[in-house]
Each structure stands twice: as structure tokens, then as C-alpha cells.
Amino acid sequence: MPTSISAVDFFAAKLAHQTDPADLASARAGGAGPLVLDVRSDASWEQGRIPGAVHLPGGQVRDRIGDLAPDLDAPIVVYCWGPGCNGATKAASTLASMGYTRVKELIGGFEYWAREGLAVVTGTGRSRRAPDELVAPVQVP
């Protein structure tokens, strides 16, 4: 069954519009990284978030993004809970439909960020979980 898009174009498009936790962490460690938007609910935000992320619940993206990113070429990464949540996909679609050209979805969302042992922030401070050996290399002593 022929498709209208080649495998090369398909995978290039995925890489252009998605990032993973390790790549996002690397981009942020290198200096001025993208605006990171947490589009989950208030309760989810309080439970834990990526350090430096901005809370913008999905239903408010269209109305409030202009205050956070007035430049349509601003690099933006959106995330929600994890692979079972399409809130980030919806928010990224909204941003793209508004003309934002450098929007990416964080694949794996907050779940895989935390499972890879990257820092998280809650109301009580900053912490890290041990990396889950199913999603990240485990450091051998």
C-alpha cells in the first residue's frame, strides 16, 4: 500500500516536532533552551514538574501564550503526564495552528522525565528519582 510520505520525510518530521527528555535536558544545560510549557492541571503541576517549566493549562494556551511567547519563532516544548496523555499533542497543535513555527512535544512527558532520573520540582523543593533501568542506563558503582 503506497503512502504519500516517504519514510525519510516521516522520520524527519517526527524529529522536527518531538524531543525526548535527554535531548531537552541537554539543550537546557547548554544555555538558553526552549520555553518549556507544562499543560497539565493545577493539581498535576503541584505534584511535580520540570524545573524552569511554565505552567499553562491546556485550556488556557490560546488565550495566554502571547504573554509568554510573543515571538512566533520562539522555540517551545510542551509536555503533559506521559505517553497515555494527549494534552501536549493538543497544546502543540493549538500553538502550530496559531503560527508558532518551532513547537515540539516532549515524548514521554513528565513521566519519562522523572523516570530517567532528571530533576523535578514540587512545593517542597527539588529532587531526583533513581533512573528506571527500563528507560535509562543505570550507573554501576
Residues of the chain with confidence (pLDDT) below 70:
1-3, 139-141
Select from 50, 62, 64 the least CA-distant residue to 96.
Answer: 62
Write down the pLDDT at residue 32: 78
In this predicted structure, what is the pLDDT of residue 60? 97
What pLDDT does residue 33 have? 87
CATH of 18-127 given 3.40.50.970, 3.40.50.10420, 3.40.50.300, 3.40.250.10: 3.40.250.10
Angstrom distance (rounded) from CA 13 to CA 124: 39
Q: In the prediction, which pLDDT does 141 show?
A: 61
pLDDT digits (tens, 9 = 90+) for 22-53: 999 999 998 878 999 999 999 999 999 999 99
| 3-class secondary structure per residue, 75-116 | CEEEECCCCCCCHHHHHHHHHHHCCCCCEEEECCHHHHHHHC
Q: What is residue 138's predicted lDDT score, i.e. its pLDDT? A: 72
* Per-residue pLDDT, 2: 62
Packing angle between helix 61-68 and helix 87-97, nearest 10 degrees? 70
> Domain ranges in the chain?
18-127
pLDDT for 140 equals: 65
With CA atoms as reference, report the closest residue to 88 among 33, 37, 25, 51.
37
pLDDT at 35: 97
Q: pTM for the full model?
A: 0.91
